[in-house]
Structure 1
Amino acid sequence: MTQTDIIDLPLRGISCGGCAARATRALAALPGVIEPNVNPMTRHAQLRLDGATLAQVQDALTRAGYPAELTTTRIKIEGMTCGACAARIQRALQSRPDIAEAQVNLATRAATISHAPSVGAEDLADMITRLGYPARPAGTDAAKAPVHDTEARTLRADALRAGLLTLPVFVLEMGGHAVPAFHHWLHGLVGHQKLWLVQMALTAAVLAGPGRRFFTTGIPALLRGAPEMNSLVALGAGTAFLFSSVVTLAPGLVPEASRHVWFEAAAVIATLILTGRYLEARARGKAGEAIRRLIALAPDQARLIRDGKSVLVPTASLRPGDLVLLQPGERVALDGTVTEGQGHIDESMLTGEPLPVLKSPGDKVTGGTLNGGSALTYRVEATGADTVLSRIVAMVESAQATRLPVQALVDRVTRIFVPVIIALSALTLALWLAFGPGLAEAVTAAVAVLIIACPCAMGLAVPVSVMVGSGRGAELGVLFRRGDALQKLASARVIGFDKTGTLTLGRPSVSGIWTRGLTEDHALALMAAAEAQSEHPLARAILHEAEARALSLPRATSVRAEAGRGLTAEVDGLSLLIGNETALTEAGIAAAPALMDQAEAVARAGATPVHLAINGRHVASLALSDRLRPDAKTTVAALRAMGLRVVMLSGDVPATAQAVGAELGLDEVKAGLSPQQKLQEIRAMGAGTVFVGDGINDAPALAAAETGLAIGSGTDIAIEAADAVLISGESAGVVRALRLSRAVMRNIRQNLFWAFAYNTALIPVAMGVLVPFGGPALSPMLGAGAMALSSVSVIGNALRLRRAG
């Protein structure tokens, strides 16, 4: 991009000329931004960049309060074989001024790019393709076509062809070394010159056919000054082949003592690396099985009820409002609400909980879940990307594409690794020529260094563990909305819980009413009328009690809620205040002693008191009881056994919260907190803090915690603010999430250790440092085998995470 190219960005929050002027000033103050102009009518910013980046522009606009609406595109990439490939593509993408952020993932073979809306997906794919890595927008993939399977089939065919061509070369050369009689018979029958010519022809077929990819990708990358793994293989195998060809065709150019051929080394290197890549691709396919299993849960057809009869139609043709018949044993096609019938549905794919859930008219059903033995009819409410299953798949894919902070170290190493290896190979050649027995041994050692030092294992160490771990989380009912939550959660030291709906079931009921100067039914009807517009669990409990008593509710007006306190409203000309004791105190209302005595008694027993004041007079108190989740006590015990400090941060009255805390065995209870105070408490806890909540008032704390875990049965706002979602709604999901995150990080550390240790140990051996002490040199063939196995072992180790949790 040149300075004359204009970047056009839609902005959020622009509502007037003043907003536009502030946004323009924010852009103008950023060095490297030329001619910024924000139009308040179109709500777009236009600017030129000369030194600044789009990421800096977005940061400036966000600080000003008008963030740009950037587009996120996912690109599938072929031909990446190591961390150096991924790092090179990422650097090229991030060098474009109209790209704010790019993450290239070696394990998923994909790039996630945040960019200006004017940039097309095809443009991005073309740019990557021009770098030497064929790319296409992810949206062009078939919905259920596993890319790794196609790649594995291609590599399998190439490895088999290479193996068939390499076998005669290997037998002709190595068979003679293993069986001297065979060697003498063969050379007496044919002669070594003709044998070398046969080996040269077969090896050329291997390198020009199945092994061609190493040269078509590796040599151009080397010439561009950006060598990668294919460059190492091309240099190693190519050098061995060329040296052997010179010995075969023009032996006079090589000293007699060095006239050895290494055709079998070149052919075996290509064959082993192709075999390793095939095994790696197959293993990566297993790493992505979790998403494919999720996608496969959605049936392709459903029974649409049309004119009173069921008609089998494609699921993609269904629309919201359609009625669908669900036969026994069938999977639910799309999200909806049961309209007829009653039966159990297995939701284990969604929640990780094994027990089927009873569904009746009015209950929600989720696409992909499995019906039991009863026929049900449901009305479709969500299709396409709006379904729960689609959102889960999108979350998992997003988490898998995320680069963990630990990846930064790997990127720095792989960026310089290949050039360093080429330099070490050249140094090895020079040292062996100076101090070794001959040219052949020098070439062998240099080739061994090139082949042994593949950075594939290092590049795969982190992303493949994240990929498998995120998929396993989805199977366990733990959705990591951001992949870096896996790393942060593993270092947790304090876990803060909300109470209502998190440690308790969130379904409180009225267990007592006390009044002064009016009947219980009258007080309840007034409170229910005001609470009818609230989504709070306590409000629902009051409404349910009013419905159970068949009370007629008057109309409420001027309803205003204050989070963590209560609400005010006008009902039948009366001014109502409903809330906790703090709300009464702040309103200057004197608490009735008799009612407060009752409230304190129920609070000590673990219930929540709610007070009613009419026209500034305290006239009634209710007791709302909410049972603990069945697994809450075992969850707290398990977390403490894992070495974590467990705290409850509640907006409930202190006596109630303390009673619950004592029953659960919590380390600390902080109660009577407003959402702002919860936020302050979270910030005061410092690093390693996790917060678990479910309500709208928990959203600030979830966002402020180092890791926020939202109960999946909670509100959308809480879920959006969290780093991970516990779909089942069970508090035991917190333990599963922590165990999984620790397992993933332990797995990553193992992968990185072995990847780095492998190269640290074997590169010096390949260079020949052990030879002066009587130790062995490393054959290029053994180096190729070890290199191929290193990547497969890293993936194999990561696949163990499929049993984690």
Structure 2
Amino acid sequence: MTEVVDDRRGGGAVGTPVPHRVELSVTGMSCAACAARVERRLNKLPEVSASVNYATRTAVVSASPGASVDALCAEVEKAGYAASPKDPVVAEAGDEDADTARLLFRRLIVAVALFIPVADLSILFSVMPSARFTGWQWLLLVLAAPVVLWCAYPMHRACWRGLRHGSTSMDTLVSTGIITASAWSVYSMLTMDDQRTTTGVWDAVTNVDTLYFEVACGVTVFILAGRYFEARAKSTAGRAMRSLAGMVPGEVEVLLRDGGTMTIPTGELKVGQRFTVRPGQRVAADGRVVDGSAGVDTSAMTGESRPVTVRPGDRVTGGTVATDGWLLVEATDVGEDTRLAGMIRLVDEAQQEKGSTQRLADRISAVFVPCVMVLAVGTGLVWFLTGTDATEAVTNAIAVLIIACPCALGLAIPMALMVATGRGAELGIFVKGTGAFDVSRSVDTVIFDKTGTLTTGQPTVEFFRVVDSFDGGEELDGTDLLAAAAAVEDASGHPVSRAVVRRYRELHGDTPLPEITEFHASHGQGVGATVNGHRVQVGSTAWLCTGQSLPPDHLADAERIRRQGGTFIVVAVDGRPVAGIGVVDEPRASAASAVEQLQARGIHCMMLTGDDPVTARALAAQVGIDWPDDVIAGVLPADKVGTVRRIRSTGARAAMVGDGVNDAPALAAADLGLAVGTGTDVAQDAADIIVVRDDLTTVVDALGLARATGRTIRGNLVWAFGYNVAAIPLAMSGLLNPLVASLAMAFSSLFVVGNSLRLRRVGGHPSPERPSPENPEVATWG
């Protein structure tokens, strides 16, 4: 068995216990500083390693197998937040962000309705002191109180909760700013002189006399508005995950032993149970059809636009839809073991994973708030001690508190990754970690495996010709030779082997194959076994025709089939070649388009195959890969890893695209491994990205999405860091009014969210296999 070696990632020692992985849903976090605080709290526990993602509100904890989930949740609560176990199998079908947006919208409406008259009256009374009447201050207080107390209550609650636990967050800055402005206004209204005059309109507008009720209300309005649109945007970004989760039916009708049926929750379905699927219903779990026939819509999983007809013996995937007919399916994989659950888990894990840049941003956010508090106090003291009146000193201090909120910094990376992984799921691209996005940006070479990747992986037998002089005696005559070859090939999982078996079934139906003994497989060469006392081998000419040759007409057949891009294999009995089989595997309809699009974007395309040079050259010409420079033929499975390493040693940043068991080591050895979704589980386990659609242009989408994500993250970080670096000195110098500061702070978060949402438009290349893409916009490359 070939050992899978990963050149890029370090592995643990053999026998190292695998930590128990727990996901917790954390509520009450308002910024990246909150996430960092929860993370620090959990990591203080013995034998616990935690990572908390603010954008997805999830804590991923690796702990010893005996760790108590309740104890982990209690630790989160000690930090001032709430936590509960998260379903590790299927993403929540509900939309928490949409619920949050609705609650924020109610408070926002009240805040806006009261802020408008407060702001208008404040300006009026400041510009036209003659308009003031007895008790005008109390009118402003009555109008502002609901905004400051009720509308801003979530911020005050989060601030108080953090202070009780000795921590600070964005809410600390906002709440302190609102309370400071309100308290100073109450103090001023109790001590001010109603006859105070202003020096001008601009002074009146910017200082609003000495009352800051409109500032407190305005900050509340802008913060609520920013959070409302942020929650709406997160809800949009998570739509793909909810769509995937919604593909699992809530109930399933199972067949009882007495022949009756019973409807049970899908979560209670067990392996081996048989369940029915009626027209319009979704398949509840992965399984094998035991009775019935139906068209199954697999577009959500594979991108195939037309329903696929399934019959007894065929496999079906959970989440697909029966368009017609009736099926009785025996469950083979349920719950977390289904393919759909695996895809959802990949997206979820990719969203939780943090890169080095994200961890740096989290650390900065964690210390940022206390530093800002010190700067705000220092700003107020400096202005006051240098002779400025207390009003202006307080104004500048409040502006520093408001402008410096690190929301944009906390959202810069997780928001982009959240949108990108969701968009990837829509396109049939599932990323196993954020590291794949980093590597994909620098890929300049794509290496394609031939069989099952550039080709359909469903080869057909074009001819089966027996040598005229063959005589196997009574035990194995010419008529039984195909059956013997099919019996040997049936023990192999290679696509060519399956083609031979299918050819036998087409001719002989359900007639049993002969029994075989002493089966043996030679990697990359062929298979052999004993059939009716004869040693029957099926494989390459190089393996079976050493020192011998087939008749000239057979050799002509071999040359013809190779020039078509097919494969010619030989059947040998007791060491003597006795038959030739021509197998043709058509290239995927999207192969040429994918190669063309990659080359147009400056990506070098290569093909790796175990076939002989003649066959390899024919297929390369069909898909547009240059011969002989970019085709490596005659490569045995064990040599694929060395070939990939050799390509990388030239300085190329190589991505490997494959599907078979023998591709797994090469997928792991490449800088980036992409497994097509129809491939084996081993290949998918070794890959960094799984492409579930039978459309190679999705590889173009995958690389384009990764590059667009990288640009978006860089743009978000430049804005988030640049905004705070530039804005804080402006606020400290007295050039920013608190209202302007709150508006700028809200805009910075919305900029990051909006920039990230642009990733939802990436991808969707037209191709022969995808004539009507859901979104025709082509991914941009940079």
| Range into which the TM-score falls when normalised by the shorter chain | 0.7 to 0.9
Q: Deviations for 1:8-31, whole angstroms, at most 9, x for unmatched residues? A: xxxxxxxxxxxxxxxxxxxxxxxx
Superposition map of 1:609-628 within 5 A: 609-628=568-587
Q: Deviations for 1:435-492, whole angstroms, at most 9, x for unmatched residues? A: 5642211221121111011111121121112112212222222222334323322332
Q: Find 1:557's aligned residue among 517, 520, 524.
A: 517
2: distance between equivalents of 1:646 and 1:747? 26
SS of the residue 2:87 aligns to: helix
**Which residue of 2 is the match for residue 539 of structure 1?**
497
Superposition map of 1:323-338 within 5 A: 324-338=275-289
Superposition map of 1:158-557 within 5 A: 158-163=107-112, 166-177=115-126, 180=128, 183-185=129-131, 187=132, 189-190=133-134, 194-200=135-141, 203=144, 205-218=146-159, 221=162, 226-249=167-190, 260-303=210-253, 314-316=265-267, 318-320=269-271, 324-435=275-386, 437-516=388-467, 517-518=469-470, 521-550=479-508, 553-557=513-517
Shift of 1:162: 4.2
Q: Find 2:67's aligned residue among 95, 99, 119.
A: 119
**Which residue of 2 is the match for residue 652 of structure 1?**
611
Q: Deviations for 1:570-590, whole angstroms, at most 9, x for unmatched residues? A: 3333334433245458xx765
Structure 1 position 138 matched with structure 2 position 86 = yes
Superposition map of 1:550-589 within 5 A: 550=508, 553-584=513-544
The AA in structure 1 aligned to 2:737 is S
SS of the residue 2:280 aligns to: coil
Q: Deviations for 1:192-242, whole angstroms, at most 9, x for unmatched residues? A: xx4434545665554444434434433564686653211211332233233
1: distance between equivalents of 2:505 and 2:87? 49
SS of the residue 2:620 aligns to: helix
1: distance between equivalents of 2:512 and 2:142? 95
Q: Contact between 2:277 and 2:322, CA under 8 Å: does it hold in 1? A: yes
Q: Contact between 1:283 and 1:792, CA under 8 Å: does it hold in 2? A: no
Structure 1 position 128 matched with structure 2 position 76 = yes
Shift of 1:358: 2.9
Shift of 1:757: 3.2
Alpha-carbon distance change, 476 to 102 in structure 1, aligned in 2, over 3 angstroms:
same
Shift of 1:151: 2.4
SS of the residue 1:751 aligns to: helix
SS of the residue 1:647 aligns to: strand
Of structures 1 and 2, the one with the larger relative CO (CA 8 A, separation 6+) is 2
**Which residue of 2 is the match for residue 679 of structure 1?**
641
Q: Using the TM superposition, name which of 65-74 and 675-684 deviates more.
A: 675-684
2: distance between equivalents of 1:97 and 1:308? 54
Q: Deviations for 1:612-654, whole angstroms, at most 9, x for unmatched residues? A: 4444444443322111111111111111112111111112222
Superposition map of 1:45-56 within 5 A: none
Shift of 1:80: 1.6
Alpha-carbon distance change, 562 to 228 in structure 1, aligned in 2, over 3 angstroms:
farther
The AA in structure 1 aligned to 2:534 is L
Shift of 1:495: 0.7
The AA in structure 1 aligned to 2:636 is S
**Which residue of 1 is the match for residue 202 of structure 2?**
none
**Which residue of 2 is the match for residue 154 of structure 1?**
103
Q: Using the TM superposition, name which of 660-669 and 558-567 deviates more.
A: 558-567
2: distance between equivalents of 1:297 and 1:478? 17
Q: Using the TM superposition, name which of 285-294 and 340-349 deviates more.
A: 340-349
Superposition map of 1:19-34 within 5 A: none
Alpha-carbon distance change, 785 to 325 in structure 1, aligned in 2, over 3 angstroms:
same
1: distance between equivalents of 2:161 and 2:293? 65
Q: Contact between 1:650 and 1:672, CA under 8 Å: does it hold in 2? A: yes
Q: Deviations for 1:358-401, whole angstroms, at most 9, x for unmatched residues? A: 33444333333333354555444443333333232222222222
SS of the residue 2:655 aligns to: strand
SS of the residue 1:505 aligns to: coil
Q: Deviations for 1:125-151, whole angstroms, at most 9, x for unmatched residues? A: 211221122222113999533222332
1: distance between equivalents of 2:91 and 2:430? 24
- Any unmatched runs of 5+ in structure 1? 1-58, 772-776
2: distance between equivalents of 1:521 and 1:502? 34
Shift of 1:743: 2.6
Structure 1 position 763 matched with structure 2 position 713 = no
Question: Aligned Cα RMSD in Å?
Answer: 3.2
Structure 1 position 744 matched with structure 2 position 713 = no
Q: Contact between 2:540 and 2:568, CA under 8 Å: does it hold in 1? A: yes
The AA in structure 2 aligned to 1:511 is E
The AA in structure 2 aligned to 1:232 is L
The AA in structure 2 aligned to 1:233 is V
Structure 1 position 98 matched with structure 2 position 47 = yes
SS of the residue 1:104 aligns to: strand
2: distance between equivalents of 1:347 and 1:525? 34
TM-score calculated relative to the size of structure 2: 0.85
2: distance between equivalents of 1:670 and 1:225? 63
Q: Contact between 2:492 and 2:527, CA under 8 Å: does it hold in 1? A: no
1: distance between equivalents of 2:513 and 2:298? 37
SS of the residue 2:246 aligns to: helix
Shift of 1:340: 4.9
Structure 1 position 717 matched with structure 2 position 658 = no
Q: Using the TM superposition, name which of 728-737 and 550-559 deviates more.
A: 550-559
**Which residue of 2 is the match for residue 54 of structure 1?**
none
Q: Using the TM superposition, name which of 159-168 and 462-471 deviates more.
A: 159-168
The AA in structure 1 aligned to 2:588 is R
1: distance between equivalents of 2:551 and 2:277? 57
Shift of 1:301: 3.9
The AA in structure 2 aligned to 1:679 is V
Shift of 1:600: 4.4
1: distance between equivalents of 2:17 and 2:358? 28
**Which residue of 1 is the match for residue 738 of structure 2?**
780
The AA in structure 2 aligned to 1:227 is T
Shift of 1:311: 6.4
Q: Contact between 2:587 and 2:623, CA under 8 Å: does it hold in 1? A: no
SS of the residue 2:693 aligns to: coil
Q: Using the TM superposition, name which of 109-118 and 423-432 deviates more.
A: 423-432
SS of the residue 1:479 aligns to: strand
- Any unmatched runs of 5+ in structure 2? 1-8, 199-206, 472-477, 764-782
Q: Contact between 1:566 and 1:579, CA under 8 Å: does it hold in 2? A: yes
The AA in structure 2 aligned to 1:296 is G
SS of the residue 1:500 aligns to: helix
Q: Contact between 1:352 and 1:475, CA under 8 Å: does it hold in 2? A: no
The AA in structure 2 aligned to 1:154 is L
Shift of 1:164: 5.1
Q: Deviations for 1:537-593, whole angstroms, at most 9, x for unmatched residues? A: 1111122223334386432222122332223333333334433245458xx765558
The AA in structure 2 aligned to 1:120 is S
2: distance between equivalents of 1:589 and 1:150? 76
2: distance between equivalents of 1:277 and 1:501? 48
Shift of 1:514: 4.8
SS of the residue 1:462 aligns to: helix
Q: Find 1:694's aligned residue among 659, 663, 673.
A: 659
Q: Contact between 1:219 and 1:234, CA under 8 Å: does it hold in 2? A: no
Q: Contact between 2:80 and 2:165, CA under 8 Å: does it hold in 1? A: no
**Which residue of 2 is the match for residue 42 of structure 1?**
none
Q: Contact between 1:589 and 1:617, CA under 8 Å: does it hold in 2? A: no
